[in-house]
Amino acid sequence: MHRLLLLGCLWLLAALPVSGIFQRPTGTPAPLRLQYLLEPLHPTVHTQRGATATLPCVLRALPHNYRVKWSKVEPANYRENIIIITNGLYHKNYGPLSPRVRLRHSHRYDASLTITDVALEDEGRYRCQLVNGLEDESISLTLHLEGVVFPYQPSNGRYKFNYHEAKRACEQQDSRLATYQQLYKAWTEGLDWCNAGWILDGTVHYPIINSREPCGGRLLLPGVRTYGARDKQKDRFDAFCFTSALQGQVYFIRGHLNFKEAGQACRNHGAALAKVGQLYSAWKFSQLDRCDGGWLADGSVRYPITTPRQRCGGLPDPGVRSFGFPSKEMRTYGTYCFVG
């Protein structure tokens, strides 16, 4: 009996078409095997602003009449911008990155891209493509900047920026609009903010750790909540800005200064009023910790706390605290200065 069952099963298997057993699910392309390019061991390269970073792209063989093309995918418009093209002997640079990029070319198979003086806008996804007739292939790498995300609104209150104004406001504070990945990482590290803000790709979000009534209600789970893509001209929200390490120093001058006097005090030391992004960077990367409110370049008054204590706002978590935008005539605060 068992033998008959076994023979019956074998007959059914033999009757099935081979493609019915082993066929890849419809719509799932077979992974392309790299013939010339080596798969990078680490597809993400970590760096900071001002550093030199190298994105690896190495060939295992040199095909005839080949070219290597480096490009960057821009999240704000989803375009792929060419950076450099080489045929192994000669190369040509393109676009705004042109003055700061070169090929490492440590050996004849090396087509790695080196970026000097890394800027905030350099973060993102890069593609190294081997152009070789019908056998084109490519690898993707991500340049990741260590940094900090902070919410930003102007002196006249919340929800005043359209997308373009939010982008400009972040740039004026020595930062740029954050990407979704940067905002998500900031949320995992404790960013909890009830006001929605623009990010770089033109969508609007707000990160919530503690669900509460004014922020969508207690029943909604914590997370990065989204309003989706909005009208970049008409819709108005706050901004989520991102900044990285400083090439300079932020320091505090004690005193009872109004806004104008604060600016002059910094200039007397060969410095300038610090921007909001610079204060966040000093707090994040230099562990700047002061219990004194000080003027910043945008007219706000803030202070950075790395070691929370009762007499410095009483909040349990580190952060940059804000007194908002007091009258610029008030002589109550010191000033935070930046020298490059």
Q: What is the pLDDT of residues 222-258, one digit of tens each?
A: 999 999 999 999 999 999 999 999 989 999 999 999 9
Contact 143, 123 (CB under 8 A): yes
**Do 137 and 50 share a domain, yes or no?**
yes
**Do 141 and 151 share a domain, yes or no?**
no
Residue 102 DSSP SS3: strand
State residue 2's pLDDT score.
39
What value does the mean pLDDT of the chain take? 89
Q: Please say which residue of 188, 223, 243 terminates a domain.
A: 243
State residue 220's pLDDT score.
87
Q: Distance between CA 69 and CA 132 in Å, rounded?
A: 11
In a domain, 12, yes or no: no
Q: Which residues contact 239 (CB under 8 A, 6 or more apart)?
A: 151, 152, 153, 161, 166, 167, 169, 170, 177, 197, 198
In a domain, 195, yes or no: yes
Q: Please say which residue of 91, 123, 145 terminates a domain.
A: 145
Residues 94-147 have pLDDT tens digits of: 999 999 999 999 999 999 999 999 999 999 999 999 998 767 899 999 999 999
Residue bearing the bigger pLDDT, 8 or 132: 132
In a domain, 9, yes or no: no
What are the backbone angles phi and psi of residue 282, rounded to the nearest 5°?
A: -65, -40
Q: How far is CA 261 from CA 264, 265, 338, 339, in A?
A: 5, 6, 15, 17
At 218, the pLDDT band (50, 70, 90 cuts) reads confident
**Do 216 and 282 share a domain, yes or no?**
no
Contact 312, 232 (CB under 8 A): no
Domain CATH for 60: 2.60.40.10
Which of 23-32's residues contact partners 24+ apart within 8 Å by CB, and which partners?
Answer: 32/137
Q: Which residues contact 25 (CB under 8 A, 6 or more apart)?
A: none
**Do 195 and 128 share a domain, yes or no?**
no
State residue 135's pLDDT score.
72
**Predicted confidence (pLDDT) at residue 339 exceeds the cutoff of 90:** yes
State residue 75's pLDDT score.
67
Residue 257 DSSP SS3: strand
**Do 283 and 302 share a domain, yes or no?**
yes
Distance of CA 111 to the CA centre of its chain: 25
**Do 214 and 280 share a domain, yes or no?**
no
Contact 44, 141 (CB under 8 A): yes
Burial of 256 by CB count in 10 Å (0-12 exposed, 13-18 middle, 19+ buried)? exposed
In a domain, 1, yes or no: no
Beta strand 101-103 pairing with 113-115: antiparallel
Q: What share of the chain is helix, strand, coil (3-state, %, to 5)?
A: 20, 35, 45
In a domain, 203, yes or no: yes
Q: Distance between CA 55 and CA 53 in Å, rounded?
A: 7
**Do 249 and 326 share a domain, yes or no?**
yes
**Predicted confidence (pLDDT) at residue 13 exceeds the cutoff of 60:** no
Instruction: Report residue 194 as tokens.
Output: 């009830």
Closest CA to 240 of 270, 279, 208, 196: 196
Domain count along the chain: 3
In a domain, 32, yes or no: no
Q: Please say which residue of 112, 145, 178 terminates a domain.
A: 145
**Radius of gyration of the CA atoms of the chain, in A:** 27
State residue 76's pLDDT score.
63
**Do 188 and 199 share a domain, yes or no?**
yes
Domain CATH for 226: 3.10.100.10
In a domain, 75, yes or no: yes
**Do 215 and 277 share a domain, yes or no?**
no
Q: How many residues does the chain have?
A: 340
Residue bearing the bigger pLDDT, 216 or 48: 48
**Do 163 and 235 share a domain, yes or no?**
yes
Q: How far is CA 106 from CA 57, 70, 83, 103, 224, in A?
A: 11, 17, 19, 9, 43
Beta bridge partners of 176: 242
State residue 74's pLDDT score.
82
Residues 279-316 have pLDDT tens digits of: 999 999 999 999 999 999 999 999 999 999 998 988 89
Q: Distance between CA 82 and CA 69 in Å, rounded?
A: 7
**Do 185 and 96 share a domain, yes or no?**
no
**Predicted confidence (pLDDT) at residue 326 exceeds the cutoff of 50:** yes
Q: Distance between CA 163 and CA 198 in Å, rounded?
A: 6
**Do 268 and 232 share a domain, yes or no?**
no
Widest CA span in the chain: 101
Residues 79-95 have pLDDT tens digits of: 889 999 999 889 999 99
In a domain, 18, yes or no: no
State residue 236's pLDDT score.
98
Residues 16-69 have pLDDT tens digits of: 333 332 233 445 444 557 889 999 999 999 999 999 999 999 999 998 889 999
**Parent domain of 301:** 245-339
